[in-house]
Amino acid sequence: MEVVVLLAIVVLLVTLAVPNYFQERRRVQREACVEQLRQISAAKDRWAKETQKPAGTVAPPAELARLLKHGVVPVCPAGGAYSINPTGTAPTCSLGATAGHTL
């Protein structure tokens, strides 16, 4: 009888914990994505200023990578793809607003 009660408690705890884990994981991925979009945007602005390029100019990824942390253009932790977009336009994530992956 004790084993059945203990097993029922474990099953209940697992059914409560698993959805919270996945929800928290999505939140952390979303926040990391938005932060990376901010970094890309700042690197684009810095590149445009350093090279004296007008708004609407596309920064080469290699040039952006030079200005970004670790020397690489980051990737979305949730599997989305980033579009750098021209200067004067915010970078975007393919997961977009429905997933909260926007600046």
Mean pLDDT of the chain: 91
Where in 2-97 does DSSP place strands (E)? Answer: 82-83, 92-93
pLDDT exceeds cutoff 90 at 19? no
Using one digit for the tens of pLDDT, what is the confidence trace for 67-99?
Answer: 998 899 999 999 999 999 999 999 999 999 888
pTM of the predicted structure, to 2 decimals: 0.82
Using one digit for the tens of pLDDT, what is the confidence trace for 53-70?
Answer: 999 999 999 999 999 988
Residues 6+ apart with CB under 8 A from 64: 40, 43, 44, 47, 73, 84
